[in-house]
Structure 1
Amino acid sequence: MTEHPRDSRGRILPDPSWPADRTAPDGLELVRRFCNTTNRENGADRFAEPDGFSGWLPAGPVSATDRARLVAFRAYLHRCADAHATGHAPTADLPEPLPGVAFTVAAHADGLRLEIAAAEAVDRLLGRLVLAVLDAQHRGTWPRLKACTHCGWVVYDGSKNRSARWCSMSACGGREHARAYRRRRSTTRR
């Protein structure tokens, strides 16, 4: 059995791709994985680790300012996913208007496309995330990106009636059913 990677404080780091059966279509999977770079239950955060941006940005140090921008945008996207799960509006607006993120309009044989025109790697990553959200909004899949009502893990709700509430039945769904069972048992014993 493989040991889960841990952060510098010994907390289990999240695997952004879990669970495999709740992945999002198209570019929305990038947004889901980005949101899942922090474990909201134990506080572990991949972006707080020295190599936490590998796979997201080219190798090299990330400035404190850029890290803060990425973390703030991740928090905003998570609030949106949480709002999709609860039916409430996101609790806050975008932290800042994403300075440095720029787009151009390019003409192609199949029509016009927005393309990222940012020079810095962090701005290009933020631009890719923004374009993925815009594409998902256009396709109607954006509201299906939801945060688990128990642990906050972001998953794609592929259910026909769009009523998924947990990251997985084997994890948070099982926990919730066990709690409900214990509540019912304690009520009947009284």
Structure 2
Amino acid sequence: MPDHNQTAPGELEVVRRFINTWSIPNDTREKTDALPELARTREVWRKEFPHQSRSRNDALGRLLRLRADLRSACQGDSSSEDALNKWFDSAALSVKTRWIGGAAKLTIESSEASFVGYIVAIVANAIASGEWARLKTCPDCQWAFYDHTRNGGKRWCGMTKGGPDGRACGTIAKVTAYRAREAMKARVT
């Protein structure tokens, strides 16, 4: 699926790409899961996440649970709070001071040397900075996107097709709602 300026800032983009290892492609509209293949083949993993290697703590089951919990959190599911807190506990997070341009900045790091620890630390930093609230999933195609709008109110991955294979999830949802309203009006009159 095209990004249409859906990329997240900084390292949060790695989290977005990780979440999008599960998707519903526009051409087939059938759920696909690339994570098992990524976890099975080092070369494929390195191609998708070139700067983040996996460790023994990054078993497929653990990666699948993390991705599901992150996807749930992006959807605004209130039950994801407990799941995220468990991930924060398991990743042994700590706060560090970094001097950037003469100013102190706090960053959250994981002492767990794993991809999971790396992802969990990024999520914790994004929550602390307020960026996490802008990482969302489309209610139609489930694609994770970063909301760059001024008010942070974007709901769908896109309103325009963005090419011959694109899908305008927002437009489709609005047309569906319009048709439902019109059908209701027709029944009432």
- Pairing of 1:84-103 with structure 2 (within 5 A): 88-91=77-80, 93-94=82-83, 97=87, 101-102=91-92
Q: Distance in 2 between matches of 1:175 and 1:67?
A: 35
Matched, 1:72 2:65: yes
The aligned counterpart of 1:155 is 145
Matched, 1:21 2:5: yes
Q: Root-mean-square deviation (CA), in Å?
A: 3.2
Q: Distance in 1 between matches of 2:185 and 2:69?
A: 43
Matched, 1:42 2:39: no
Q: Distance in 2 between matches of 1:189 and 1:106?
A: 62
Q: Distance in 2 between matches of 1:141 and 1:100?
A: 22
CA contact (8 A) 1:22 1:156 kept: yes
The percentage of aligned residue pairs carrying the same residue is 31
Q: Distance in 2 between matches of 1:58 and 1:98?
A: 20
Q: Distance in 2 between matches of 1:107 and 1:78?
A: 29
CA contact (8 A) 1:23 1:156 kept: yes
Give structure 1 stretches of 5+ with no counterpart.
Answer: 1-14
Q: Scaled by the length of structure 1, what TM-score is found?
A: 0.68
Q: Distance in 2 between matches of 1:114 and 1:163?
A: 27
The structure with the greater share of residues assigned to strand is 2
CA contact (8 A) 1:28 1:133 kept: yes
Q: Distance in 2 between matches of 1:67 and 1:139?
A: 29
Q: Distance in 2 between matches of 1:153 and 1:174?
A: 15
The aligned counterpart of 1:7 is none
Task: Give how far 1:71 is off.
Answer: 0.6
Task: Give how far 1:45 is off.
Answer: 0.2
The aligned counterpart of 2:163 is none
What one-letter code is carried by the residue in structure 2 that aligns with 1:20?
Answer: H
Q: Scaled by the length of structure 2, what TM-score is found?
A: 0.69
Q: Distance in 1 between matches of 2:98 and 2:185?
A: 67
